[in-house]
Amino acid sequence: MQKLDRRSFIQKSGVAALAGGSALIAGCSAENKGEAPAVQSQKKYEWRIVTTWSPHFPVLGEGVDQFAQWVKNMSQGRLSIQVYGANELVPAFESFEAVRQGTAQMSHGAAYYWAGKVPAGQFFSTVPFGMNTQQMNAWLIAGGGMKLWEDLYAPFNLIPFAAGNTGMQMGGWFNKMINSISDIQGLKMRIPGLGSKVINKAGGSGLATPGAEIYTNLERGVIDATEWIGPYHDYLKGFHKIAKYYYYPGWHEPGTVLELAVNKTAFEGLPADLQDIIRAGAARLNAQILAEFDAKNGEYLAKLINENHVNLLKFPDDVLATFKKYSEEVIEELISSNADAAKIYTSYTNFRKQISAWEDITTHAYNEALKG
């Protein structure tokens, strides 16, 4: 065999490659003459997404705007999504039904907003004194929760995706001090989900109203108290201007999951790559929203305390204990009357026990060590 030096080898290899490439092109041209080349379908889809948030509302509405742009970019324009805030296409709390009926292909909100239609869905948003954000994400993504959620929404022709989380919320704004559970009696409070029923058991009136209506209702005395999310949004809403006392912790929402609901027929009509792009966009939004809340809430809590001098108060221990007792009663009433809720809550509680045992020797032990 003739020995080639390195330069000769490269030169000969390059010539051969060029020759081979030319031959391949020529061969393809000859063989496929008169035939169209095989290319991926470039069909374009134009979708709508409705939300429970005001148009372009910080973090939440803006997050949906970002999601639409991510999908457009990843699909190279093959899937465009027009975003509609609350009341732009349908009222805030009608977005679930709008997607079910096909008025829009997607919605963004929280599962506890549809408690009247899907009572068991509340376990996929938040549970009073329930799992925190990290635990909820683990249950949904790796603990079987997502499959249960999909099964629950299937009869409504919807596919759910976890698409955001508020993190631990605040306890809310009140126009009187809460010194004992008796101070809840007669109180009208804006609070959604299972937490609303807890307030009812305590002698108050829990009301679920869209975020855009809260300030006006509190200012006019339609409600006496409200929870919303946390310091960042509470500051932007201006609650500190019309309410005296800011309570913590958010016992009712320890880690609220936000949902992207997609019309199942529309989703299954997409090519596989566009389906995966929606999945990827939802996962990115899930992380993005939580990160923004975590980053902003600490900053704005300091602003509320140091610049606006709000009265930051912790719920008394006996009040929290009573809320916890009533929460257990509310959950028991739901699971005893709803087979779907019972099945889902069994998975929820089993997973919580498992992950709590792990966190006891990791996160909780670490937090205790920091105090020392």
Q: How far apart are CA 161 and CA 340, in angstroms?
A: 18
Residue 76, Ramachandran bin (φ over 0: left; ψ between -120 and 50: alpha; else beta): left
The tokens for 90 are: 């349908």
Segment 74-86, tens digit of pLDDT? 999 999 999 999 9
- Strands of the sheet containing 79-84, edge to edge, are 79-84, 45-51, 106-109, 257-263, 158-165
Closest CA to 260 of 89, 83, 116, 119: 83
Residue type, 124: F
Q: How far apart are CA 53 and CA 63, in angstroms?
A: 10
pLDDT of residue 210: 86
Q: Cβ contacts of residue 271 below 8 Å, gap of 6+?
A: 41, 43
In the predicted model, what is the mean pLDDT of residues 191-219? 94
Query: What is the b/e burial string over 186-202, where b = at least 16 CB atoms within 10 angstroms of the residue's CB?
Result: ebbbbbbbbbbbbbbbb
C-alpha 349 chain-centroid distance: 21
The tokens for 118 are: 């899907």
The tokens for 364 are: 């909780």
User: Selecting from 3.40.190.10, 3.40.920.10, 1.20.140.10, 1.10.10.60, what CATH number does the domain 172-254+308-358 have?
Assistant: 3.40.190.10
In the three-class reduction of DSSP (H, G, I as helix; E, B as strand; rest coil), residue 174 is classed as strand
Q: How far apart are CA 102 and CA 96, in angstroms?
A: 10
Q: How far apart are CA 372 and CA 368, in angstroms?
A: 7
Res. 194: pLDDT tops 90: yes
Q: What is the DSSP string of 203-239?
A: TSEEE---GGGHHHHHHTTS-SEE--S-HHHHHHHTG
pLDDT of residue 9: 33
What residue spans of the chain are helical by DSSP H?
A: 6-31, 60-74, 95-101, 133-142, 145-153, 193-201, 214-219, 231-237, 264-268, 272-306, 317-337, 339-360, 363-371
Residue ranges of the chain that CATH labels 3.40.190.10: 172-254+308-358
pTM of the model: 0.86
- Strands of the sheet containing 311-314, edge to edge, are 205-207, 188-190, 225-226, 172-174, 245-248, 311-314
Res. 18: pLDDT tops 80: no
pLDDT tier at 13, thresholds 50, 70, 90: very low
pLDDT of residue 300: 98
Q: What is the CATH number of domain 45-167+255-294?
A: 3.40.190.170
Segment 210-223, tens digit of pLDDT? 888 999 999 999 99
pLDDT of residue 229: 96
Residue ranges of the chain that CATH labels 3.40.190.170: 45-167+255-294
How many C-beta neighbours within 10 Å does residue 139 have? Answer: 24
pLDDT of residue 23: 34
Query: Phi and psi dihedrals of 335, rounded to 5?
Result: -75, -20
Average pLDDT over all residues of the chain: 91
In the three-class reduction of DSSP (H, G, I as helix; E, B as strand; rest coil), residue 184 is classed as helix
pLDDT above 70 covers a percentage of the chain that reads 89
Q: How far apart are CA 123 and CA 152, in angstroms?
A: 11
Distances (CA, A) of 58 to 235, 296, 297: 12, 11, 13
Length of the chain: 372
In the predicted model, what is the mean pLDDT of residues 202-214? 92
In the predicted model, what is the mean pLDDT of residues 134-159? 98
pLDDT of residue 209: 85
